[in-house]
């Protein structure tokens, strides 16, 4: 079969590989109909994330069940499926409690040295009952491909900011007086989502998904920050207030919008140190930092700074499988707004070109078709 191979930074080739076969009884083989290129693959593409070479890329793919192992219960040959970016067993303690992002089986995502990816004609899917989802009717591949990673990831980044924001006054004098019938004790004023000022740092595909969820869940004011005009235009269409890096004084604008306090919550979707530091600086004391970008370096703030600012800080990847259904609801309710997300649909043979234009931010989202 044909497959997209990582041969080193900026070296993407389409090569012949053996068609995968079942290895474990919980495996399925999927015949891929669409595979996305994800922003997180650019860490590897650009050489920032060091890795050996020769593996098949891609952790976003949609297709049909080609073959199932003897222990697969939920899927039959011929069924259409969408795959989450990393295998999940959905039966360990973490999966059962909603932390599918920390399923011990999912440590190697698709498209890495540990597990061959989906930018290929076929792909082997471990723990098929957990890792795959059947596809709802009336949602096409362009939208489904976003459900593998970017939409649930952006959704989670936004929901984590929202839920931590909502609960922040629980730890500051508004405890539930009775958990069976939760009512705030009312010692302090609660700040509503409508009053709050959110910021989303990064308006790439994941950022746009985060903005859509934040807005659709009741965040009225969300400043959206990027350096690319097209991204900011998209973010503005989704209800964000665009601030352009290099043109706008982001810090000053956010401070002015909050009477000098700082933002109540920041969703950081960029995944570099400068963005994480910016998130820290934009927040008010006791604010919420929800970082969904992939970070490899040190934290760009000290323990003393954290102590002095009393932030609620969350980093880490999304439990895509856990939040899949509720993220799918947001996608299904906003098909038109998301329709313009995929700008390029290329044959698999044009994978190198697809990576190139995506890396140069000349494409919003690229789909490869085997």
User: Which positions lie near a copy of itself, rule CB under 8 A?
Assistant: 93-94, 96-99, 101-102, 156, 159-160, 163-164, 166-167, 169-175, 182, 185, 187-191, 259, 261, 273, 276, 285-286, 291, 294-304, 306-317, 319, 322-323, 325-326
Min. distance of Cβ 327 from a copy of itself in angstroms? Answer: 10
Between 49 and 340, CB nearer to a copy of itself: 49
Min. distance of Cβ 11 from a copy of itself in angstroms? Answer: 25
Separation CA 278–CA 271 (nearest Å): 12
Between 56 and 214, CB nearer to a copy of itself: 214
Count of C-beta atoms within a 10 Å radius of residue 187? 10
Min. distance of Cβ 256 from a copy of itself in angstroms? Answer: 15
Between 182 and 347, CB nearer to a copy of itself: 182
Separation CA 141–CA 34 (nearest Å): 7
Tokens of 137: 């009717």
Min. distance of Cβ 345 from a copy of itself in angstroms? Answer: 31
Between 68 and 318, CB nearer to a copy of itself: 318
Tokens of 182: 């939760």
271's CB contacts (< 8 A; 6+ apart) are 40, 43, 202, 293, 294, 295
Min. distance of Cβ 316 from a copy of itself in angstroms? Answer: 3
With tokens 């906003």, the residue in question is 334
Separation CA 282–CA 258 (nearest Å): 10
Min. distance of Cβ 46 from a copy of itself in angstroms? Answer: 17
Between 173 and 347, CB nearer to a copy of itself: 173
199's CB contacts (< 8 A; 6+ apart) are 222, 223, 224, 225, 254, 263, 265, 266, 267, 279, 282
Between 234 and 312, CB nearer to a copy of itself: 312
Separation CA 148–CA 86 (nearest Å): 9
């Amino acid at each position: 079969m044909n497959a997209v191979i990582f041969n080193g930074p900026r070296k993407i080739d389409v090569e012949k590989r053996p068609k995968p076969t079942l290895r474990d009884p919980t495996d399925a083989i999927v015949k891929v109909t669409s595979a996305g290129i994800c922003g997180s693959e650019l860490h590897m593409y650009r050489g920032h994330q060091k890795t050996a070479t020769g593996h098949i890329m891609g952790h976003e793919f949609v297709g049909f069940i080609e073959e199932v192992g003897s222990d697969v219960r939920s899927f039959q040959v011929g069924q259409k499926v969408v795959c989450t970016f990393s295998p999940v067993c959905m039966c360990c303690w973490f999966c059962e409690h909603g932390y599918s992002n920390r399923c011990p089986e999912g440590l190697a995502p698709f498209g890495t040295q540990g597990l061959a990816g989906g930018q290929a004609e076929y792909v082997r899917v471990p723990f098929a009952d957990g890792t795959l989802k059947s596809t709802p009717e009336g949602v096409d591949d362009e939208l489904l491909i976003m459900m593998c990673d970017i939409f649930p990831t952006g959704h989670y980044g936004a929901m984590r900011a929202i839920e931590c924001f909502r609960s922040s006054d629980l730890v500051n004098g508004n405890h539930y007086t009775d958990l069976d019938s939760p009512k705030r004790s009312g010692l302090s004023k609660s700040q509503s989502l409508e009053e709050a000022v959110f910021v989303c740092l990064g308006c790439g595909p994941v950022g746009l998904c985060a903005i859509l969820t934040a807005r659709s869940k009741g965040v009225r004011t969300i400043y959206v920050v990027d350096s690319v005009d097209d991204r900011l235009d998209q973010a503005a269409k989704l209800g964000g207030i665009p601030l352009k890096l290099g043109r706008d004084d982001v810090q000053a604008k956010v401070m002015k919008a909050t009477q000098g306090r700082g933002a109540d919550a920041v969703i950081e979707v960029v995944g570099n140190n400068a963005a994480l530091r910016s998130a820290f600086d934009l927040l008010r004391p006791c604010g919420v930092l929800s970082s969904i970008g992939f970070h490899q370096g040190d934290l760009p703030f000290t323990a003393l700074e954290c102590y002095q600012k009393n932030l609620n800080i969350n980093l880490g990847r999304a439990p895509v499988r856990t939040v899949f259904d509720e993220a799918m609801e947001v996608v299904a309710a906003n098909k038109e707004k998301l329709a313009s997300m995929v700008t390029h649909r290329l044959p698999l043979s044009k994978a190198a070109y697809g990576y190139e234009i995506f890396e140069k931010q000349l494409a919003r989202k690229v789909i490869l078709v085997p």
